[in-house]
Amino acid sequence: MFANRPTCDLEQLRGDLRGRWRVAVRAVMVLLSLHGLTAAEIGALLECHPATARRWIGRFNIAGPAGLADRPRPGRPRLGGRRLCARIAALLECPGPWTVRRVWRCLGRPDLSLRTLYRRIRQVAVWRRPCPGGGHRGGAPVVPAVTRRRPHSGRLGIPFVLDTGAVIALSQLDKTARTMLAAALREQSQVWVPAPVITELVRGNQRRDAAVNRVLKSVSDVHPLDEPLARDAGRLLAGGGTTVDAMVVATAQRVAGAGSVVIMTGDPRDITALVADDSRVRVAAV
């Protein structure tokens, strides 16, 4: 029999072996050594460096089982607590022009300097300075709306498709839209923006388009327009509506396939009329 579980379960198991079960792993190193395995073979089996295996076997030879436990470490506890980086990552899932001071306030004003918080943010976020004329005041660095994309696990969330109104709401930091999108990203949902939506949004002016471009680059993938998709949108237009709305619904139906999809929209009445009785498509107003 062989193990056959999703990737997320395997990653959790590896994390536990380096976390709460790490002392048991050290004991396994000793037992494997007693059965004649070399440090290199133990390292390959337990996914660690051979020097790590040699160190714990040596600690066992000197102090016995007590030598496998963690030793007290010098120094003060880590500023902000152990969960600070995880809290920062969760916070930055919401789109917005984040600055260090704004992150500090949203974290509940923890007892650490802004410089220390800056270093913690660098561990979990893609860091950049604002573009000249991008609408940000001052010279403080700005954290993009979303951290680097997480690797996909075995199960993905329901995909989302954004229309023009949803992208505008996100660019204006609308609370409902940000909350909905953050929940989708936590479920590892893929977020799509149909290419025709960009035509309605972008005008080539750097200052005007800065907020919209930030949303497009950080939280979504652009779904291309091809002939079959255009024909599907044309059939939807037979019942009325605008061309871009029809392309949004046609894109959602293609993304859904045999599953489900959510359309985030600022115009729920027209989108719902185009969706009609398609049970795969859910409409979420922002």
pLDDT for 149 equals 44
pLDDT tens digits, 164-213:
999 988 888 888 888 888 888 878 788 899 999 988 888 888 777 888 88
Residues 175 and 278 grouped into a single domain = yes
Query: Phi/psi at 35 (nearest 5 deg)?
Result: -90, 10
pLDDT averaged over the chain? 82
Q: What are 84-110's pLDDT values in tens digits? A: 888 888 888 776 677 888 888 888 888
73 in any annotated domain: no
106 and 138 inside one domain: yes
Domain count of the fold of the chain: 3
Indicate if the pLDDT at residue 57 is higher than 80: yes
155 — pLDDT class (breaks 50, 70, 90) = low
User: Is 77 a member of any domain?
Assistant: no
Does 117 lie in the same domain as 226? no
What is the pLDDT at residue 27?
A: 95
In a domain? residue 264: yes
CATH code of the domain in which 177 resides: 3.40.50.1010
Q: Do 243 and 270 fall within a single domain?
A: yes
What are the two backbone dihedrals, phi and then psi, of residue 152, each rounded to the nearest 5 degrees? -70, 135
Name the region of 240 (left: φ>0; alpha: ψ -120 to 50; beta: rest): left
Same domain, 208 and 255: yes
Residue 196 counted as domain residue: yes
Residue 176 has a pLDDT of 86
**Angstrom distances, CA of residue 262 to CA of 159, 190, 237:** 6, 11, 20
Domain that holds residue 276: 160-285
Does residue 74 form part of some domain?
no
